[in-house]
Structure 1
């Protein structure tokens, strides 16, 4: 039986990765910071370690065939930033994988990283990818256009009665469900693919995303378009007037929404079904 070591196992994608590799008959080792967060995780074994502390990783990958890292942070906590996790913690994982002579290391990147390279989050990821691709370990980099979970904020805005968009709202994206993305990652590592850009089966403009969110809760469509100059102004001001845990994800969102985030389509999950499932799970009532 082949063994896969999954970092970031308790995150949105990590749980789907554990389930997908388990379904394919792999022995799944899930790396977690605390076993308390590993509830209902489809893993053969769970190991506790801090990837930011390389000494805690020693020996954990002995006998491992594949490492898959979905490790990263969306919001920077006090004392820990993108450089510490998205770059250095992943580099620590890579160094341990090299020591253990792991056969392949797969990493979840971000689509259009070159266009977003000036953002700290993307720069940290891109620098790790550069280190990974120069390693003696065979590598697979998968760059998704965005996750379904990223789009849930649109549903939250619709629930509040209005969706706010910058500019025309005509930039496009095709987000992918975590289960579909995990399937793509597993296929890519099985095939020895070096790099794969991937998106979901449906492409939407921002306006269409907003309309879908309103339709999913049966609410009237109320969209307000803000001047794009306001977005550019916010990009300049946010790092000066907000803590990094706020401006980090905010500047990524504001930058990404100004370009098309569309990649080759994969998967079967539909965003409308995801929105409806969220509506039913949360018992959302329409505010009119």
Structure 2
């Protein structure tokens, strides 16, 4: 399912923690009963104190906070899916019923929050390792049935649920290989005086944008392709890369996100993964102990 941009909010945060440990916390619903639970006089106060969390943003009002607090030992049921695992934790609710909090783990590094009742917003996270002690987390909120309201968007910008509070500044440079419908989203993410560099058009050659944010942000949109450039021009670019960029890479300042490593015998599997469009990082072939 592809949703309009108005139905989604996406942000990114840095976390000083190994990505696997972050992922474990995202799919474990048991720890909420003690790690995130508040001490409150009544359920109304608890609900107010947990407004920052998905469990507190209730479109369907019920006693789910009390159910989580009073039953700290959920019974788990785990089912395999074609993309990962469905992890359900059942707690005792009212009138002999069970309250199920169901998380989704999607290989290799995606998790959906176990919180939404019908009609409520969904939340998810994608964990991208940087090193053994830190990771980037792409966080997203969406509603499949309607656009997010301005109030919901503002809450996300202030750190609601999986998101970290953002300063609203945006990014200085967007390197766009998709173009087409992505151009409007590039502009939305851009900071004032930022630049968008379009270097490919995997999403199409036609784009429609609102020129008002283009003007307000004093944005620059440029296009570049090396194929028609002269050999001398390409050589000059290569020399500038060696002088200005390669020293930073040698010092480990930039590390690519690796999705998967394949042997030559698995090359067809690598192509299938690439064609699926479900990967995030680079796909590598290991040739005689070296990566290509």
TM more than 0.5: no
Question: Which has a greater percent of strand?
Answer: 2
Instruction: Report 1 or 2 for greater relative contact order, CA contacts < 8 Å, sequence distance ≥ 6.
Output: 1
TM-score, normalising length from structure 1?
Answer: 0.25
TM-score, normalising length from structure 2?
Answer: 0.25
